[in-house]
Amino acid sequence: AQTVTQSQPEMSVQEAETVTLSCTYDTSESDYYLFWYKQPPSRQMILVIRQEAYKQQNATENRFSVNFQKAAKSFSLKISDSQLGDAAMYFCAYRRVSRGAGGTSYGKLTFGQGTILTVHP
Amino acid sequence: SQTIHQWPATLVQPVGSPLSLECTVEGTSNPNLYWYRQAAGRGLQLLFYSVGIGQISSEVPQNLSASRPQDRQFILSSKKLLLSDSGFYLCAWKYLAGQYFGPGTRLTVT
C-alpha cells in the first residue's frame, strides 16, 4: 500500500522569506501523481500544485515550486516570498494513475498527516 | 465551471441520532465522488468513493454508509451516531489528475 509521510508537524517562516516543506512517499508504482494541498483556517482544501511522476521538470505555480526526487521518493514544497495568507496546514498527497475501465485506483488520494505553517510578520 | 456544495456546514447531533450529509456537484457529469473525514485537524481518511449512480465502495469499516441516488449527488449517512463520528467531513470529486473539495461539514456528536 502507498504511504505518504510528512515529518514536520509544524514549520514557521518570516514574511517575505522562503520555507520548504518536506514529504516522502512509498510506492511500487512507476507512474503516479503527487500533490500539495493547502488548508487555511476555513478548512477548505485548496490544490496548490501538482506533479506528474513521468515529468522530470519540477512543477511551479507562481511563488510555489516543488523539488521532485523520484529515486529518493521525495516531494518537497518551496514557498518563496512568504505571505501572511500562506499560513495554513499543508498536505502532501499521492495518487496512482487510473487504469481505465478495468482499473481499481479510481483516483483515490493518499494524504500525509500535514504540516502547520505559521508566517510571522 | 464546476462547483461542489456540501450541507449543512455545521451540525451538532446527540449520540444515537441519525445523520445525513449531502454533497452535490455542478457543471460536470458522471464524476467520481469521494467522502473523507478529518479528525482533530490532521490527516484525511478516505471513507467512501463512488464511480457512478448506485456504486459505492467503502475504504474502512465503520458506523457510516454512503449512497449515490443521482449522478451528481453523494450522501453520507448513519443510523446511530457515535462520539467517535465527530470530525470534519469533506466531499471531493475527481477532476483531471486531481481532486477538488467541497467546503466541508463540521460534525460534533455530543
Which range is least confidently modeled, A96-105, B42-51, B54-63? A96-105
CA-based nearest residue to B31, from B9, B4, B63: B4
What cell numbers appear for A44 in the block? 477548505
Between A119 and A2, where is the model more confident?
A119
Whole-number Å distance between alpha carbons of A10 and A115:
5
Assess whether the previous peptide bond of A121 is cis (omega < 30° from 0): no
Supply the pLDDT for residue B41: 64
Torsion of CA B36, B41, B42, B46, to 10 degrees: 0
Whole-number Å distance between alpha carbons of B82 and B15:
5
Band (pLDDT 50/70/90 cuts) for residue B39 is: confident
Residue labelled with grid coordinates 510578520: A121
B→A contacts (Cβ < 8 Å), by residue, are 32, 34, 38, 41-44, 46, 49, 51, 57, 59, 88, 90, 92, 94, 97-101, 103-104, 106
CA-based nearest residue to A24, from A1, A7, A46: A7
Band (pLDDT 50/70/90 cuts) for residue A100 is: low
Asked whether the beta carbons of residue A107 and residue B32 sit closer than 8 angstroms, the reply is yes
Supply the pLDDT for residue A103: 45
Helices and strands per DSSP (H, E), number in chain A: 0, 12
Which range is least confidently modeled, A49-53, A62-66, A83-87, A100-104? A100-104
Whole-number Å distance between alpha carbons of A57 and B47:
34
Whole-number Å distance between alpha carbons of A84 and B103:
22
- Average pLDDT in the A89-112 region? 77
CA-based nearest residue to B91, from B70, B79, B76: B76
Supply the pLDDT for residue B29: 81
Supply the pLDDT for residue A10: 96
Supply the pLDDT for residue A98: 65
Torsion of CA B50, B56, B59, B64, to 10 degrees: 120
Would you call A47 an interface residue with chain B, using a CB distance cutoff of 8 Å? yes
